[in-house]
């Protein structure tokens, strides 16, 4: 399991860092100079290997999973990130989403973590999806009701609307099945049945589920790239990530495909990279990326501590 934790965390961070220099470039702009390797600078003027909020908040969650599960610990880590540059790549926060920022302000004011996130349809940016990956290792052997409830709570620290929760849930169910060794296409097909069935069983509004129709009713891997959007909306991010994962066969191609869609490049690639890292493993993540990613040793150490707490202690 340790290797899987490592490749998931690193998968997120490297996808994020690859996308940071071209964040906000649109589809047409990025097509002129597609990203093919770790470049650095650009949009945020950060050196190669610099990850952003996506990976930082992922590590804040992972760090909380090195202790007994507690929403307050996760929330405290998020506050520490924004105020004290905790788990940043280079000692400063240079990118923060509006909904996340608002939620952290509420957390600081003492609002309960479960209630701090936005609950309106407009609060469905990709800010909880981009940081959710490590949670899969805590959910693994729990029943589906519990997996959903815990996912709902952890998403709600910043993003409380059901659409964001479903996106996180879909992503984590996908990740869980990858850990169990299932084939990605088999997983995709299984989820088309399992996810709506479960959501309807707990009385989620079918209209909300219908926002996921392209994933749940069509075959997203057959969709033309021109119709895959990659902005900050959580539906766009989950669609683009699953599409990038299903239409490639290695880590590098998956994250670069996500980035070269343009727009919210770092987040789309971070979300794709979590699953691709998990699926293809450490050895498939190019060595040149592993050498240049910020805080490599700290990330490996974090994975070790997560593994010790979640799996070794149980032996």
Number of residues in contact with Mg ion under rule CB under 5 A: 5
Binding mask 49-88 for Mg ion (x = CB under 5 A): ---xxx----------------------------------
**C-alpha to C-alpha distances, 291 to 10, 13, 75, 84, 251, nearest whole angstrom:** 11, 13, 31, 26, 16
The residue (of 51 and 188) whose beta carbon lies closer to Mg ion is: 51
Question: Nearest residue to Mg ion, using CB?
Answer: 52
We find the least distance from the C-beta atom of residue 181 to Mg ion, in angstroms, to be: 31
Structure tokens at 53: 């909020």
The answer to whether 173 contacts Mg ion (rule: CB under 5 A) is no
Q: Look up residue 127 and give its two tokens.
A: 């800010």
**Neighbouring residues of 215: CB distance < 8 A, sequence distance ≥ 6:** 170, 191, 192, 238, 239, 242
Q: Which is nearer to Mg ion, 44 or 214 (CB)?
A: 44
Span near Mg ion by CB under 5 A; candidates 28-36, 99-107, 206-214, 261-269: 261-269
Does position 95 bind Mg ion by CB under 5 A?
Answer: yes
- Tell me which DSSP letter residue 283 carries: G
Question: Which CB atom, from 42 or from 281, has the smaller least distance to Mg ion?
Answer: 42
Answer for which of 266, 268, 269, 310 binds Mg ion (CB under 5 A) is: 266
Cβ-Cβ contacts under 8 Å for 64 (sequence gap 6 or more): 70, 73, 74, 77
- 123 lies in the binding site for Mg ion (CB under 5 A): no
Among 118-126, 148-156, 168-176, 265-273, the segment contacting Mg ion (CB under 5 A)? 265-273
Buried b (16+ CB within 10 A) or exposed e, 238-255: bbbbbbbbbbbeebbebb
- Structure token pair of residue 119: 């609950």
- For Mg ion, the closer CB: 95 or 123: 95
What are the residues binding Mg ion (CB under 5 A)? 52-54, 95, 266
């Amino acid at each position: 399991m340790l290797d899987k934790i490592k490749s998931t965390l690193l998968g997120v961070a490297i996808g994020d860092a690859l996308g940071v220099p071209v964040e906000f470039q649109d589809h047409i702009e990025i097509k002129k100079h597609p990203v093919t390797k770790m470049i650095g600078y650009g949009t945020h003027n950060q050196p190669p290997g610099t990850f952003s909020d996506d990976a930082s908040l992922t590590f804040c969650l992972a760090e909380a999973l090195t202790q007994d599960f507690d929403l307050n610990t996760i929330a405290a880590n998020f506050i520490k990130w924004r105020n004290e540059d905790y788990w940043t790549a280079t000692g400063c926060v240079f990118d923060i989403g509006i909904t996340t920022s608002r939620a952290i302000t509420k957390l600081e004011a003492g609002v309960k973590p479960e209630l701090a996130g936005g609950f309106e349809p407009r609060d469905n940016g990709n800010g909880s999806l981009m940081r959710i990956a490590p949670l899969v290792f805590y959910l693994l052997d729990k029943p589906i009701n519990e997996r959903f409830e815990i996912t709902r709570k952890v998403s709600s620290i910043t993003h409380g609307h059901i659409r964001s929760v479903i996106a996180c849930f879909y992503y984590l169910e996908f990740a869980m099945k990858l850990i169990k060794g299932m084939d990605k296409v088999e997983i995709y097909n299984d989820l088309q049945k399992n996810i709506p069935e479960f959501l309807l069983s707990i009385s989620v509004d079918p209209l909300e589920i219908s926002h996921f129709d392209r994933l749940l009713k069509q075959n997203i891997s057959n969709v033309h790239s021109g119709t895959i959007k990659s902005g900050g909306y959580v539906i766009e991010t989950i669609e683009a990530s699953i599409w990038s994962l299903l239409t490639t066969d290695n880590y590098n191609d998956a994250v670069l495909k996500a980035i070269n869609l343009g727009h919210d490049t770092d987040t789309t690639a971070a979300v794709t990279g979590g699953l691709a890292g998990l699926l293809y493993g450490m050895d498939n993540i190019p060595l040149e990326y592993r050498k240049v990613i910020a805080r490599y040793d700290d990330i490996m150490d974090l994975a070790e501590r997560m593994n010790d707490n979640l799996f070794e202690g149980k032996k």
